């Protein structure tokens, strides 16, 4: 009964239930839009004259939709699990749950079940869409079933890992960062297994490899092994969380020693000078982001070492594989951008959850001091996440894998994206009053940005042809992305700048993708700097100028 109560609270109370219907409708509509876009592309560039042509289209379509759903399911399950536990800690309600009649197993499994139920509903909404796609041929129902089984198992394992990490770490940011590291490490282990022991062994470990194996007509042999791997991860992570949940979240307060007990006065701790910007000082000089940040830093150093080892191995080969270099670099870059976004948004939402945000609003802090203090504090606290990806991109030049020109474009473009996601996180934290929604909006935009870019590139390559002719089929996706972006960013401040940002980012991102596929590096760099530079200013200026509107603070000078 108590397990059901925790699960019901997670699903119905926190997100207000209406969001479940909206999420399912948007997800199903997005899948339908992708199918329609692919069909318009293939019919506009080539003739579908035989059953074999339609079957080839159906098989290619499943290889596009399958990885997309896998990535979204794993990220959604992990994010929901971390936020479900992290919000309880930030609001100091975890102690109330621990002193209730709930057992440790009921608490851990209840949080996990509530998080998985959201992802499970999204997968159920996608079943009719994938079934509809089989009318083209090229794929059998059993392959669809295997695909959904692999996706559900990977999502359950990701949620279990995230749930255990969230109970372990004391802040939402640390839990999100370590979860991102572990998921990237899981995928990297699969790629290492593919190099060392072959594709079949990798399909037993890696979710991505298992998914592609499940789509293959003869790829069901590795499915039991992969399910066993996921079941092992779920059992270990959940058992670890149940065993240690109370010890991790119980703090023993020692009574300070009285002066008469020792015969000598207890020495007072010397006060520390505060900088001219107290927000920046608190971000960098205190435990604003939780204890033992060294764990996050060590995780990123390990990720950096693994990426460097993979890149050096390709540099030493007679014919370096560009795809292998991308596989080594891109996961670390994406994980860093997600972690920086999480740090930025939680630096604001944590203040609100702990009740210190109102104290800051009634102080004499100016908006620019607060916003710049948070931004610079985020970039300083996440120094490893900022510097190591840039170093990795620049290291491609001396290794002979990139020219100085391309290495400079890559590093400068990444620097623009890093600052953009930091500003996006702060803006989302100021714009949304609930922590769940703010974190979901900020991380959702960044995640959909990279997943959308990868999906668009896959579609363009799979259904080739003139890139100019592909603009019309992608127009619906561009417009839909602009509408969704505007709805997410204009929660409390529907400014013209946010409107222009929402309209330009999807369109210019499409231009950047086509430039990259055509080999125009300078065009990609200029478009990325223009698009995301303008987006950064469009979010940064309202964050300062409309600070009172975003936070609900009233001015006293009127």
Predicted confidence at residue 467, as pLDDT, reads 61
In a domain, 424, yes or no: yes
C-beta of residue 226 within 8 angstroms of C-beta of residue 205: yes
In a domain, 261, yes or no: no
Tell which residue, 393, 424, 386, has the closest CA to residue 407: 393
For residue 556, what pLDDT band results from cuts at 50, 70 and 90?
very low
In a domain, 367, yes or no: yes
% of the chain surpassing 90 pLDDT = 38
Both 507 and 545 in one domain: the answer is: yes
In a domain, 267, yes or no: no
Both 57 and 122 in one domain: the answer is: yes
pLDDT single digits (tens) 416-451: 999 999 999 999 988 888 888 889 889 989 988 888
Tell which residue, 313, 309, 307, 340, has the closest CA to residue 326: 307
Average pLDDT, stretch 91-117?
A: 88
**Is residue 260's pLDDT more than 80?**
no
Length of the chain: 558
Domain end marker among 248, 270, 288 = 248
Both 225 and 285 in one domain: the answer is: no
**Is residue 555's pLDDT more than 50?**
no
Pick the residue with more confidence: 66 or 453?
Answer: 66
**If you search the block for the tokens 């990325």, which residue do you land on?**
528
**Is residue 468's pLDDT more than 80?**
no
3-state secondary structure 216-241: CCCCHHHHHHHHHHHHHHHHHHHHHH
For residue 146, what pLDDT band results from cuts at 50, 70 and 90?
very high
**If you search the block for the tokens 């499915």, which residue do you land on?**
223
For residue 48, what pLDDT band results from cuts at 50, 70 and 90?
confident
Q: Taking CA 532 as the corner, what is the angle to CA 531 and CA 533, rounded to the nearest 5 degrees? A: 95
In a domain, 44, yes or no: yes
Predicted confidence at residue 220, as pLDDT, reads 75
Both 360 and 465 in one domain: the answer is: yes
Domain end marker among 248, 269, 302 = 248
Spatial distance between the Cα atoms of 551 and 130, rounded to a whole number of angstroms: 43
Spatial distance between the Cα atoms of 299 and 376, rounded to a whole number of angstroms: 22
Both 547 and 466 in one domain: the answer is: yes
Spatial distance between the Cα atoms of 463 and 297, rounded to a whole number of angstroms: 42
Both 41 and 182 in one domain: the answer is: yes
Both 283 and 244 in one domain: the answer is: no
Both 227 and 343 in one domain: the answer is: no
Give me the sign of the Cα torsion angle 180, 181, 182, 186. Answer: positive
Burial of 159 (0-12, 13-18, 19+ CB in 10 A): buried
Which tokens sit at 449?
Answer: 């940005």
Both 173 and 306 in one domain: the answer is: no
Tell which residue, 165, 174, 296, has the closest CA to residue 240: 165
For residue 263, what pLDDT band results from cuts at 50, 70 and 90?
very low
Count of CB atoms situated within 10 Å of the CB of 187: 17
Spatial distance between the Cα atoms of 176 and 382, rounded to a whole number of angstroms: 13
Both 332 and 236 in one domain: the answer is: no
In a domain, 393, yes or no: yes
Both 338 and 453 in one domain: the answer is: yes
Domain end marker among 248, 266, 286 = 248
Which tokens sit at 285?
Answer: 């000089």
Q: 95-109, 269-283, 454-468: which range is least confident on average?
A: 454-468
Residue 412: how many CA atoms within 13 Å on its side-chain side? 16
pLDDT single digits (tens) 284-315: 888 878 777 888 999 999 999 999 998 998 88
Where b means 16+ CB within 10 Å and e means fewer, 7-27 reads beebbeebbeeeebeebbeeb
Predicted confidence at residue 552, as pLDDT, reads 67
In a domain, 254, yes or no: no
**Is residue 259's pLDDT more than 90?**
no
Q: Can you give the residue range of the structural domain that contains 160?
A: 2-248
For residue 14, what pLDDT band results from cuts at 50, 70 and 90?
very low
**If you search the block for the tokens 């764990």, which residue do you land on?**
295
pLDDT single digits (tens) 61-82: 888 999 999 999 999 999 999 9
Tell which residue, 442, 394, 436, has the closest CA to residue 422: 442
**Is residue 6's pLDDT more than 60?**
no
In a domain, 55, yes or no: yes
Please enumerate in sequence order all residues whose Cβ is within 8 A of that of 66, keeping only pairs 6 or more positions apart, or say none: 147, 151, 211, 212, 214, 215
For residue 557, what pLDDT band results from cuts at 50, 70 and 90?
very low
Pick the residue with more confidence: 6 or 213?
Answer: 213
3-state secondary structure 381-410: HCHHHHHHHHHHHHHCCCCCCCCHHHHHHH
Average pLDDT, stretch 255-274?
A: 56
Which tokens sit at 167?
Answer: 């109970």
State the total domains in the chain.
2
C-beta of residue 443 within 8 angstroms of C-beta of residue 24: no
Helices (H), 91-140: 94-98, 104-133
Both 192 and 320 in one domain: the answer is: no
**Is residue 265's pLDDT more than 60?**
no
């Amino acid at each position: 009964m108590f397990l059901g109560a925790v699960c019901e609270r997670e699903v119905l109370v926190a997100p207000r239930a209406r969001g479940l219907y909206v999420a399912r409708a948007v997800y199903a509509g997005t899948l339908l839009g992708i199918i329609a876009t692919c069909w318009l592309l293939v019919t506009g560039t080539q003739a579908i004259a035989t059953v074999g042509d339609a079957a080839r289209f159906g098989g290619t379509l499943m290889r596009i939709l399958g990885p997309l759903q896998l990535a979204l399911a794993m990220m959604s399950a992990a994010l929901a699990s971390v936020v479900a536990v992290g919000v309880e800690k930030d609001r100091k309600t975890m102690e109330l749950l621990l002193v209730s009649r709930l057992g440790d197993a009921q608490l851990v499994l209840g949080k996990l079940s509530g998080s998985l139920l959201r992802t499970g509903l999204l997968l159920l909404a996608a079943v009719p869409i994938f079934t509809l796609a089989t009318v083209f041929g090229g794929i059998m129902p059993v392959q669809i079933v295997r695909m959904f089984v692999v996706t559900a198992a990977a999502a359950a394992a990701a949620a279990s890992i995230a749930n255990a990490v969230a109970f372990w770490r004391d802040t939402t940011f640390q839990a999100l960062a370590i979860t991102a590291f572990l998921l990237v490490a899981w995928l990297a282990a699969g790629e290492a297994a593919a190099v060392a022991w072959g594709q079949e062994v990798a399909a037993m470990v890696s979710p991505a490899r298992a998914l592609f194996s499940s789509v293959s007509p003869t790829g069901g042999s590795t499915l039991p092994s992969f399910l066993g791997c996921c079941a092992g991860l779920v059992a270990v992570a959940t058992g670890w969380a149940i065993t240690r949940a109370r010890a991790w979240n119980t703090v023993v307060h020692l009574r300070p020693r009285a002066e008469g007990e020792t015969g000598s006065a207890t020495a007072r701790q010397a006060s520390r000078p505060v900088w001219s910007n107290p927000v920046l000082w608190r971000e960098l000089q205190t435990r604003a982001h939780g204890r033992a940040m060294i764990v996050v830093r060590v995780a990123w150093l390990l990720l950096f070492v693994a990426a460097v080892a993979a890149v050096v191995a390709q540099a030493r080969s007679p014919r370096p594989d560009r795809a292998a270099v991308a596989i080594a670099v891109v996961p670390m870059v994406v994980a860093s951008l997600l972690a920086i976004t999480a740090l930025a948004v939680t630096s604001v939402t944590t203040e609100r959850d702990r009740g210190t945000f109102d104290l800051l609003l009634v102080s004499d802090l100016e908006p620019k001091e607060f916003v710049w203090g948070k931004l610079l504090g985020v970039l300083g606290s996440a120094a490893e996440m900022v510097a190591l990806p840039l170093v990795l991109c620049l290291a491609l030049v001396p290794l002979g894998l990139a020219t100085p020109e391309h290495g400079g474009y890559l590093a400068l473009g990444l620097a623009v994206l890093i600052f953009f996601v930091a500003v996006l996180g702060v803006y989302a934290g100021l714009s949304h009053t609930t922590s769940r929604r703010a974190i979901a909006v900020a991380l959702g935009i960044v995640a959909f940005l990279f997943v959308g870019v990868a999906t668009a590139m896959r579609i363009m390559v799979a259904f080739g042809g003139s890139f100019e002719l592909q603009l019309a089929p992608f127009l619906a996706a561009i417009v839909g992305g602009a509408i969704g972006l505007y709805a997410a960013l204009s929660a409390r401040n529907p400014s013209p700048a946010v409107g222009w940002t929402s309209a330009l980012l999807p369109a210019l991102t499409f231009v950047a993708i086509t430039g990259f596929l055509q080999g125009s590096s300078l065009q990609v760099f200029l478009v990325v700097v223009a698009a995301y530079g303008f987006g950064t200013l469009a979010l940064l200026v309202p964050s300062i100028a409309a600070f009172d509107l975003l936070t609900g603070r009233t001015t006293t000078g009127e």
